[in-house]
């Protein structure tokens, strides 16, 4: 049910509303009549407007009571805006400078006014054109290490952690989207599914009949349902990253909840690997993409190695949480054992991340929401060839996870697929 007072804003009605929000009006400068408003939402769920005034600009994101991609037949609660602004605030605390600032939040309208990221573009768009982002690995690993460590039981007391979990517990509808679209539907006949047809009909059927794969993805689903390790972003693909050559920001945390850390790390790895495989479909004799593919795989390696180092550094210097009580590890043998346990913890997290990455790669090819990295390859045979390589690697990553003890094992396998 839509609350009293809610209405979706339009390009025509937004300026009048914003003129009543003094902080926003002051930021834009001039008066409502001077402001240029454009709807730019390219996501699957929400409205996004860019508003520019003589003194500055803002981005305005408003939830709709349904899924934008599908329409009113698929209702979705407006409360996702509430969870998004809470997540943005928590992320700003643990990863300062890496998310847009919030200027205003209107609970009734499910509307967030935030810093306009300009001249940033969506990272995925740049990657399709083979643009390198030298600051990306540094920024995304700082973001993930800061947010995941800082909201975990390694940093928080049990009381703090449970209070924070309670604040995000209600984001069930968004979690359900993930549970269905990522962990379930690609592995069965479902109305939402689509794939490059007829080229992938055979492999789609093969996956639906692959019992080992269905057990593996269900094990990951159980982890997603039950492991409240940290506040995760929940939708950390390259379409949720806005970049310039020297600035990187993470947007769109409306799926945030306390879940398994490997889900975010895996999302980043998956979307880099999808882009890597898609490059074979974009390459031309004049524009070969091999060296860009090398950059993408180097970035993939950097994501894990950088994250691991930063997370461990935070743990060593800021273990203020109730897990692994310092009093138990104060002696020499204890300190050594804790160090070994920290390494083992990171190994387990890597294994999770490989599995979640695989789930993300598969859903983007056989499920509802696809990636333009692949979708923009017009020649369907060529696209299907890229998609098949990506699916084959993902299947092996998910079922034979012992084959992927290191990120270098993942990137080497990606290279060998071609
Ligand atoms: P959705 O949840 O519907 O996917 P997003 O938060 O991803 O919405 O935003 C959709 C698009 O709006 C982004 O891809 C980007 O182009 C634009 N956008 C979102 N936030 C900002 C911002 N703060 N500054 C500039 N553009 C933005
Ligand atoms: Mg988005
Ligand atoms: Mg497709
Ligand atoms: Mg979103």
Q: Report which bound ligand comes closest to the CA of 48.
A: 1
Contacts of 23 by beta carbon, 8 Å cutoff, 6+ apart: 103, 104
Query: For the stretch 107-133, what's the b/e string if a residue is b when 16 or more beta carbons lie within 10 angstroms of its beta carbon?
Result: eebbbbbbbbbeebebbbbbbbebeeb
Say yes or no: ipTM exceeds 0.95: yes
Whether the CB-CB separation of 169 and 82 falls below 8 Å is answered with no
Indicate whether 378 and 246 sit together in one domain: yes
Check: pTM over 0.90? Answer yes or no. yes
Question: Which DSSP symbol is given to 207?
Answer: H
329 and 273 part of one domain: yes
Residues with CB under 5 A from ligand 2 (ion): 43, 252
pLDDT tens string 254-305: 999 999 999 999 999 999 999 999 999 999 999 999 999 999 999 999 999 9
Residue 273 falls within a domain, yes or no?
Answer: yes
Same domain, 155 and 208: yes
User: Ligand 3 centre from 279 Cα, in Å?
Assistant: 15
**Interacting residues of 24 by C-beta distance below 8 A, sequence separation 6+:** 18, 58, 103, 104, 113
**Residue 1 maps to a domain:** no
The domain boundary, picked from 48, 83, 115, lies at: 115
Tell which of 85, 100, 115 closes a domain: 115
**Token output for 203:** 């492999």
Atom number in ligand 1 closest to CA 239? 14
Question: What are the φ and ψ backbone dihedral angles of 10, each rounded to 5 degrees?
Answer: -125, 170
Indicate whether 303 belongs to any domain: yes
- In this structure, the answer to whether residues 169 and 63 fall within a common structural domain is no
Ligand nearest to the CA of 41: 1
Mutate which of 27, 37, 43 for ligand 1 pocket (most atoms within 8 A of beta carbon)? 43
Ligand 1 shell residues, CB under 6 Å: 40-46, 48, 59, 61, 100, 114-117, 122, 240, 251-252, 254
Q: For residues 150 and 248, what is the distance between their CA atoms, to the nearest angstrom? A: 20
Ligand 4 center from residue 105 Cα (angstroms): 16
190 plus 109 within the same structural domain = no
196 and 333 belong to one structural domain = yes
- Please report, for the domain that includes residue 316, its CATH number: 3.90.1200.10
Indicate whether 83 and 150 sit together in one domain.
no
43: confidence class by pLDDT, cuts 50, 70, 90: confident
Q: Are 243 and 120 in contact (CB under 8 A)?
A: yes
* Cβ atoms within 10 Å of 289's Cβ, excluding its own: 18
Residue pLDDT, tens place only, 174-233 = 999 999 999 999 999 999 999 999 999 999 999 999 999 999 999 999 999 999 999 999
Confidence bin at 369 (pLDDT 50/70/90): very high
Instruction: Judge whether residue 70 has pLDDT over 90.
Output: no
29 pLDDT band (50/70/90 cuts)?
very high
Residue predicted with more confidence, 69 or 310: 310
Is 8 among the domain residues? no
Take atom 11 of ligand 1 and give the residue whose Cα is closest.
41
The CATH number of the domain holding residue 57 is 3.30.200.20
Q: Is the pLDDT score of 397 beyond 90?
A: yes
Same structural domain for residues 109 and 257? no
Task: Mark whether 243 and 152 lie in a shared domain.
Answer: yes
Q: What is the mean pLDDT of residues 140-163?
A: 98
pLDDT band at 44 (very low <50, low <70, confident <90, very high): confident
Is the pLDDT score of 318 beyond 90?
no
Question: Which tens digit of pLDDT belongs to each residue from 73-127?
Answer: 999 999 999 999 999 999 999 999 999 999 999 999 999 999 999 999 999 999 9
Residues 107 and 125 in one domain: no
Domain extent for 154: 121-416
State how beta strands 71-75 and 66-67 pair: antiparallel
Domain-located, residue 6: no
Secondary element (H or E) of residue 381: helix 380-399
Q: What average pLDDT does the structure give for the chain?
A: 97
Atom of ligand 1 nearest to the CA of 40: 12
Pair (99, 169) in one structural domain: no
Of the listed ligands, the closest to the CA of 199 is 3
Please state the domain count of the chain: 2
Cα 99 → chain centroid: 13
The answer to whether residue 5 sits within a structural domain is no
Q: How much distance in Å is there from the Cα of 268 to the middle of ligand 2?
A: 14
For 386-405, b where at least 16 C-beta lie within 10 A, e where not — what string? bbbbbbebbbbbbbebeebe
Residue 3, in any domain of the structure: no
Asked whether residue 7 is assigned to any structural domain, the reply reads no
In the numeric block, which tokens belong to residue 281? Answer: 């479909």
Residue with tokens 């043998």: 333
Q: What distance in angstroms lies between residue 239's CA and the mean position of ligand 2's atoms?
A: 6
Q: Do 213 and 65 sit in the same domain of this protein? A: no
pLDDT at 252: 97
Give 196 Cα–ligand 4 centroid separation in angstroms: 24
Domain boundary among 115, 134, 167: 115
* Separation of CA 252 and ligand 2 centre (Å): 5
Distance 107 CA to ligand 4 centre (A): 17
Average pLDDT of span 245-253 = 96
User: Could you tell me which residues are beta bridge partners of residue 242?
Assistant: 122, 249
Counting ligand 1 atoms within 8 A of each CB, the residue from 60, 61, 128 with the most, and so the one to mutate, is: 61
């Amino acid at each position: 049910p839509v609350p009293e007072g809610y209405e979706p804003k339009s390009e025509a009605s937004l300026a009048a509303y914003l003129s009543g929000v003094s902080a926003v009006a002051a930021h834009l400068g001039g008066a409502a009549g001077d402001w240029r408003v454009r709807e730019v939402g390219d996501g699957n769920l929400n409205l996004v407007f860019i508003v520019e005034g003589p003194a500055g600009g803002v981005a305005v994101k408003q939830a709709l009571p349904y899924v934008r991609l599908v329409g009113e037949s698929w209702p979705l609660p407006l409360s996702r805006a509430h969870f998004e602004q809470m997540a943005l605030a928590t992320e700003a605390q643990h990863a300062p400078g890496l998310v847009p600032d919030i200027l205003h939040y209107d609970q009734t309208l499910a509307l967030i006014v935030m810093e306009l990221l300009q001249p940033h573009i969506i990272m995925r768009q740049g990657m399709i054109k083979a643009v390198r982002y030298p600051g990306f690995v540094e920024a995304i690993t700082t973001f993930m290490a800061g947010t995941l460590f800082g909201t975990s039981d390694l940093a928080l007391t049990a009381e703090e952690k449970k209070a924070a979990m309670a604040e995000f517990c209600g984001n069930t509808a968004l979690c359900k989207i993930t549970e269905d679209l990522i962990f379930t539907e690609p592995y069965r006949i479902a109305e939402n599914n689509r794939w490059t047809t007829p080229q992938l009909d055979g492999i789609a059927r093969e996956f639906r009949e692959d019992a080992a794969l269905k057990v593996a993805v269900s094990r990951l689903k159980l982890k997603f349902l039950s492991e409240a390790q940290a506040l995760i972003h929940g939708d950390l693909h390259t379409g949720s990253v806005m970049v310039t050559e020297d600035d990187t920001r993470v947007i769109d945390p409306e799926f945030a909840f306390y879940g398994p850390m490997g889900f975010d790390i895996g999302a980043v790895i998956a979307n880099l690997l999808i882009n890597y495989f898609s490059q074979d479909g974009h390459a031309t004799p004049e524009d070969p993409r091999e060296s860009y593919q090398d950059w993408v795989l180097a970035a993939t390696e950097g994501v894990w190695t950088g994250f691991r180092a930063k997370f461990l550094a935070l743990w060593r210097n800021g273990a203020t949480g109730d897990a692994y009580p310092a009093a138990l590890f104060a002696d020499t043998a204890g300190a050594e054992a804790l160090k070994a346990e920290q390494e083992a913890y990171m190994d387990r997290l890597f294994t999770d991340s490989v599995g979640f990455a695989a789930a993300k790669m598969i859903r983007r090819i056989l499920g509802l929401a696809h990636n333009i990295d692949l979708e923009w390859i017009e020649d369907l045979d060529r696209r299907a060839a890229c998609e098949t390589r990506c699916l084959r690697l993902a299947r092996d990553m998910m079922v034979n996870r012992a084959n992927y003890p290191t990120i270098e094992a993942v990137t080497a396998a990606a290279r060998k697929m071609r």
